[in-house]
Amino acid sequence: MASGLLRSEFDQVSFIRKSHSLDYAGGMASNYYFGYLKHVLAASVTDVLEGICERIKLYSAQNSVSFVSDKLVILIPNTMYLNPKIDDSKLLEKTNALEPVIKNRAGVQRRFYNDVYRIKKPINNKYYYIVLEGATPLQSFYDAMQEERNISRTSLKRMQREILLKFYTYLKKLLLSRPDTENEAELILYNAYKEDGSKVDVGEVIISYFHEKLKKET
């Protein structure tokens, strides 16, 4: 009976890469999508303002500002760790959040917030705003890896890269699987450290990513 548990690392990698959701990475992506993203991204069939695009447009009109993207931008660092205070970046400053969304989840009224940041460095000579957050399930996974009493910590840590990539690809697949979320979020997978070992400023990642994107669109 125990022989089935003694699988090689190669077998574990192969299992993670398969196109099912019966693994740690797929489970994290599914919970994140169905428990949170679907509720803040998708527009309601009612007249209530709930979709991320609609709320961004309202914010833009009310404050006379421009957004670098009309989507929720989700940061996915390769280390899985993201500073809880994104505005510690020298290039980002937190402003007022978008209008919150209130949804009933299992009999509980939940209020979902989405933070807005101002990019302090111009892109193509223009200052932009952005709705930005880190992928919270990966942060939870990172925290679990630091817990010495977690008996599976060593095995999961060896599989960290595979889990990260599976989470990214499966979450992207989930977003694209529904018309009401396929164009509502943007995933940015990036290296958290430069080649010289210094930390990357999240603001630099944002500016670099959208500067290239805007250049292609103009």
75 pLDDT band, cuts 50/70/90, is: very high
Residue 103 has pLDDT above 80, yes or no: no
| Mean pLDDT to the nearest integer, 12-30 | 66
- Residue 180 confidence (pLDDT): 86
Q: Which residue has the higher pLDDT, 79 or 67?
A: 67
Lowest mean pLDDT among 3-12, 62-71, 74-83: 3-12
Lowest mean pLDDT among 25-29, 154-158, 203-207: 154-158
Residue 4 has pLDDT above 50, yes or no: no
CATH fold group of domain 19-191+209-217: Rossmann fold (3.40.50)
Q: Structure pTM?
A: 0.83
As a three-state string, the secondary structure of the chain is CHHHHCCCHHHHHHHHHCCCCCCHHHHHHHHHHHHHHHHHHCCCCCCCCCCHHHHHHHHHHHHCCCEEEEEEEEEEECCCCCCCCHHHCCCEEECCCCCCEEEEECCEEEEECCCEEEECCCECCECCEEEEEECHHHHHHHHHHCCCCCCCHHHHHHCHHHHHHHHHHHHHHHHHCCCCCCCCEEEEEECCECCCCCECCHHHHHHHHHHHHHHHHC
Residue 59 has pLDDT above 90, yes or no: yes
Positive/negative CA dihedral, 29, 35, 36, 39: positive
Q: Which sequence spans correspond to the domains of the chain?
A: 19-191+209-217
